[in-house]
């Protein structure tokens, strides 16, 4: 900061932030509504006489303390605050009440159920959501099975699944329903053989198989386990040509055909059983199918009829539909395809993978284990947020564990009856273009209950309602006097609506907005209003144009390390004003010489100059960060002789302390002395010839590389 400017700031009692500007003053707000949208700290002075009291009061919009310092009374400051209102707050319930079993829609697992938030720009509104797992909660389970030929032995074991699974699931819930569906593949080449005989029986002649099909809803959800056994026992294996199956088509139909499947608003489980991989979006091109999957129900007489018309769904499409319909997926797959479905699980929230035995004999245990795993984890998900709105979560789980960020959305190891809390913060930046209310929803994944949140945006001040239309204070009635300032009528501009927009284009006024005849109006960075440049606003509020002709800006200065003015200065009119101890066009040159001090306390050992905190050695014999290393100086060979001898030959005076004292260089062994580096191989290399204890000569070179590391080459051959 300039010394004169600093002195002025002290005399006026202003901080540097006030001089440089804050988010409130940078917004250049022309109305109270624009001001309060600039940030949560911004207030608007409604005192009509406020701007008549000096240069330092050139705007009504500023931080509250700054407005008070400038003489605006608290009573004259508009500073609306956001609120949280709970509209529906039904208490969390248990599964049973006074001995009477409750219906699913009478059970409440999340509280509250509806809120209204009044959002002020930049100000977070925080509330708590509490979740409690209910006892004896109803479950719908749909078993979707691959009926290609390789699953023949699995079908035999699944035929009694209905009653057996009913028995086991009654230990978890008294309200359990089960359904069954099967799939094979799209009924076109090259997925199946379309020869007439193969269409009737796709298996070998000695096997009785049913005609190939894409997906069939065999049994809608029912509480009758014996009906499951009866219908499944009548199913026959089919066949196809390629190894991946058309399971994604089946999952999509099971998910979106809620009425045909019979899904209730309870816990929904989809068990997907297969011993193969899967086709996904794009694979349909092999059969000439290019239309993307439409994500709609196409069941006629319980058969999927559009497999030949629509491509397979994508993974993202399935994730969307499964989430929308609150379906949790259990992939029961054989050992061979575990890695594939583990990767798929990572992409589908609230899903699990179990290893299916070769004949599906362990399917009941697999389902029970997967259900316990899924139901013990609570993950919150919110609907699409309006533009400018953000949301954050902090979880407060069992045993006092709290998490933020993405982990703040979930709690694990939740048992029946456990209660956890999530702290939710919603923040808006600005106001939506239409200014209307928006509604978002938060729900725990895999559960049908959700929390409705109505967002109201505070876009105007209360004084907005008390405006005086066509006020004489606004240049002969050319505007509405609102919140102490003029809101100009259409076609009028200026602080008191003193200018007509039609006048902006006249030559005389335009001439006042040019630096000279050869330049653009307001340097093409602003508009000429009544002969005065009004500079454009940038999307980034920290960036701004300035100057009489908008010829200056604070963002087009030189950069260093991808930082404006190297992070060591400020940008003023496209030129860096460096902080103390820094210089250069990008303030990237430090004037601090402490990094250049040698061990003798001399700058660069007296053999160089310190530039930008780095030594540049002027004596060619010296090198290193402080010009202290001299490989060619006399005595180098003698100084390092003992360490070279102990490292290379295990002899000499330092053989007992070699590891401790002689590890400072990299050792490279050569056979003969002729193989040692030559003088021209690298700079500052020293050739040494020394005697050992046996009066034999040994030869080595000593060199310091540019990065400061020492390299020693030794010849094994003695002289």
DSSP result, 171-182: TT-S-EEEEEEE
Residue 431's Cβ-count burial label (10 Å; 0-12, 13-18, 19+) is: buried
Cα dihedral 192, 196, 202, 206 in deg (nearest 10)? -160
Kindly report the backbone phi and psi dihedral angles of residue 609, in degrees, each rounded to the nearest multiple of 5, phi listed first: -125, 150
- Angstrom distances, CA of residue 326 to CA of 361, 440, 443, 566: 28, 17, 9, 51
CA distances to 404, 471, 613, 619 from 625, in Å: 45, 73, 10, 13
Both tokens assigned to 67: 């407005």
- Count of CB atoms within 10 A of residue 535's CB? 21
Q: Is 243 exposed, middle or buried (0-12, 13-18, 19+ CB in 10 A)?
A: exposed
Helix (H) or strand (E) holding 317: helix 315-324
| Distance, CA of 72 to CA of 504 (rounded, Å) | 34
Give φ, ψ of 250 to 5 degrees. -65, -45
Angle between helix 338-347 and helix 315-324 axes, rounded to 10 deg: 60
Pairing of strands 402-403, 389-396: antiparallel
List, in sequence order, every residue forming a beta bridge with 63; answer none if it has no partner.
Answer: 42
CA distance 284 to 280: 8
The β-bridge relationship of strands 419-428 and 410-411 is unpaired
b (16+ CB within 10 A) / e for 571-606: beeeebebeeebbbebbbbbeeeeebebeeeebbbe
pTM above 0.75, yes or no: no
Tokens of 571: 């940008």
- Under 8 Å between Cβ of 705 and 684: no
For residue 568 the two structure tokens come to: 């060591």
Residue ranges for the chain with pLDDT beneath 50: 1-20, 54-56, 506
- Per the document, the length of the chain is 719
Reference 216, options 321, 146, 123; nearest CA is 146
The span from the CA of 324 to the CA of 350, in Å, is: 12
Decide: helix, strand or coil at residue 442: strand
Cα distances (angstroms) measured from residue 18 to each of 22, 38, 52, 70 = 6, 16, 19, 11
Q: How many helices (H) and strands (E) does the chain have?
A: 17, 44
Per residue, what are the HEC states of 655-714? Answer: CCCHHHHCCCCEEEEECCHHHCCCCCCCCCEEEEEEECCCCCEEEEEEEECCCCCEEEEE
What span, in angstroms and rounded, lies between the C-alpha atoms of 179 and 76?
68
User: Would you say the C-alpha torsion 584, 589, 593, 594 has a positive or negative sign?
Assistant: positive
Q: Three-state SS for 438? A: strand
3-state SS, residue 167: helix
Please say whether the beta carbons of 221 and 235 come within 8 A.
no
> Which structure tokens are listed for 112?
């509250």
Q: How far is the CA of 241 from the CAs of 184, 203, 245, 341, in angstroms? A: 10, 10, 10, 22
Q: Which of these, 633, 494, 665, 710, lies nearest to 30 by C-alpha position?
A: 494
Domains of the chain by start residue, with CATH: 93-134+380-458 (2.60.40.1510), 147-376 (3.40.50.410), 559-590 (2.10.25.10), 592-631 (2.10.25.10), 636-715 (4.10.1240.30)
Q: How is residue 643 written in tokens?
A: 């360490």
Answer whether 381's CB lies under 8 Å from 350's CB: no
Taking the chain, what is the end-to-end CA distance rounded to the nearest angstrom? 70
- Amino acid 101: pLDDT: 73
For 5, phi then psi, to 5°, come to: -65, -40
> What's the CA gap between 109 and 422, in Å, rounded?
13
CB 353 within 8 A of CB 345: yes
Omega into 575 within 30° of 0, i.e. cis?
Answer: no
Q: Per the structure block, which two tokens stand in for 239?
A: 């066949």
Q: What are phi and psi of 416, to 5 degrees?
A: -60, 130
Distance CA 251, CA 273 (A): 11
pLDDT at position 488 is 86
Q: Could you identify the residue written with the tokens 């079908």? A: 155
CA distance 116 to 118: 7
* Residue from 628, 607, 602 nearest 617 by CA: 607
Residue 114 has a pLDDT of 96
Cα atoms in the Cβ-side hemisphere of radius 13 Å centred on 622: 16
Contact 174, 136 (CB under 8 A): yes
Tens of pLDDT, residues 544-558: 888 888 989 988 899
Position 384 scores a pLDDT of 92
Q: What torsion, rounded to 10 degrees, do the Cα atoms 308, 312, 317, 321 define?
A: 60
**Cβ atoms of residues 44 and 35 within 8 Å:** yes
- CA dist list (Å): 85 to 116, 425, 430, 624: 5, 14, 21, 68
Q: What is the H or E stretch that residue 3 is in? A: helix 3-12
CB-based contact 305:340 (threshold 8 Å): no
Element (H, E) at 454: strand 451-457
């Amino acid at each position: 900061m300039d010394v004169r400017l600093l002195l002025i700031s002290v005399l006026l009692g202003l901080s540097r932030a006030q001089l440089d500007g804050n988010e409130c003053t940078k917004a250049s707000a022309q109305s109270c509504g624009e001001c309060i949208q600039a940030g949560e700290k911004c207030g608007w002075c409604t005192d009509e006489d406020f701007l008549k009291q000096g240069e330092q009061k050139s705007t009504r919009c500023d931080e509250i303390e700054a407005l008070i310092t400038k003489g605006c009374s608290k009573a004259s400051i508009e500073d609306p605050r956001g609120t949280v209102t709970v509209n529906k707050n039904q208490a969390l319930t248990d599964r049973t009440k006074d001995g009477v079993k409750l219906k699913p829609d009478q059970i409440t697992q999340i509280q509250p159920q509806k809120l209204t938030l009044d959002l002020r720009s930049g100000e977070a509104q925080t509330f708590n959501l509490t979740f409690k797992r209910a006892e004896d909660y109803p479950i719908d389970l749909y078993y979707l099975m691959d009926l290609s030929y390789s699953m023949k032995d699995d079908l035999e074991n699944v035929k009694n699944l209905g009653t057996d699974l009913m028995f086991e699931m009654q230990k978890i819930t008294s309200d359990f329903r089960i359904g069954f569906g099967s799939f094979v593949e799209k009924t076109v080449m090259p997925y199946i053989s379309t020869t007439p005989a193969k269409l009737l029986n796709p298996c070998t002649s000695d096997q009785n198989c049913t005609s190939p099909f894409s997906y069939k809803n065999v049994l809608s959800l029912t509480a009758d386990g014996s009906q499951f056994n009866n219908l499944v026992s009548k199913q026959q294996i089919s066949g196809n040509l390629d190894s991946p199956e058309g399971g994604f088509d089946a999952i999509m139909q099971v998910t979106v055909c809620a009425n045909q499947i019979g899904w209730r608003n309870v816990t929904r489980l989809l068990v997907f059983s297969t011993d193969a991989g899967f086709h996904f979006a794009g694979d349909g091109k092999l059969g000439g199918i290019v239309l993307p999957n439409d994500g709609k129900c196409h069941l006629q007489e319980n058969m999927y009829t559009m497999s030949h018309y629509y491509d397979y769904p994508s993974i993202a499409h399935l994730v969307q539909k499964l989430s929308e319909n609150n379906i949790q997926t259990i992939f029961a797959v054989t050992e061979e395809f575990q890695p594939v479905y583990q990767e798929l699980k990572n992409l589908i929230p609230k899903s699990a993978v179990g290893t299916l035995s070769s004949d599906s004999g362990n399917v009941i245990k697999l389902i029970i284990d997967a259900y316990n795993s899924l139901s013990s984890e609570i993950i919150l998900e919110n609907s699409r947020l309006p533009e400018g709105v953000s949301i954050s979560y902090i979880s407060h789980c069992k045993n006092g564990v709290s998490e933020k960020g993405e982990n703040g959305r979930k709690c694990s190891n939740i048992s029946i009856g456990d209660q956890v809390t999530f702290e939710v913060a919603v923040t808006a930046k600005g106001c939506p273009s239409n200014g209307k209310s928006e509604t978002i929803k938060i729900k725990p994944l895999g559960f049908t209950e959700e929390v409705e949140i109505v967002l109201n945006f505070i876009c105007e001040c209360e004084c907005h309602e008390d405006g005086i239309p066509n006020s004489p204070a606004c240049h002969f009635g050319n505007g509405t006097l609102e919140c102490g300032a003029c809101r100009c009528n259409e076609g009028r501009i200026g602080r008191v609506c003193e200018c007509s927009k039609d006048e902006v284009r006249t030559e005389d006024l335009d001439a006042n907005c040019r630096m000279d005849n050869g330049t653009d109006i307001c340097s093409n960075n602003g508009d000429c209003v009544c002969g005065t440049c009004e500079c454009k606003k940038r999307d980034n509020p920290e960036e701004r144009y300035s100057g009489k002709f908008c010829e200056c800006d604070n963002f087009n200065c030189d950069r260093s390390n991808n930082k404006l003015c190297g992070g060591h200065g400020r940008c003023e009119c496209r030129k860096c004003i460096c902080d103390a101890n820094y210089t250069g066009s990008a303030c990237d040159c430090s004037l601090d010489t402490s990094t250049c001090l040698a061990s003798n306390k001399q700058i660069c050992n007296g053999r160089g100059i310190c530039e930008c905190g780095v030594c540049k050695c002027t004596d060619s014999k010296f090198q290193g960060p402080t010009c202290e290393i001299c490989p060619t100086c006399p005595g180098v060979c003698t100084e390092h002789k003992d360490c070279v001898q102990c490292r290379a030959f295990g002899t000499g005076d330092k053989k007992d302390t070699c590891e401790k004292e002689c590890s400072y260089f990299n050792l490279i062994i050569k056979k003969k002395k002729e193989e040692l580096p030559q003088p021209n191989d690298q700079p500052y290399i020293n050739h040494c010839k020394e005697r050992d204890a046996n009066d034999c000569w040994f030869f080595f070179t000593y060199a310091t590389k540019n990065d400061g590391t020492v390299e020693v080459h030794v010849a094994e051959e003695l002289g």
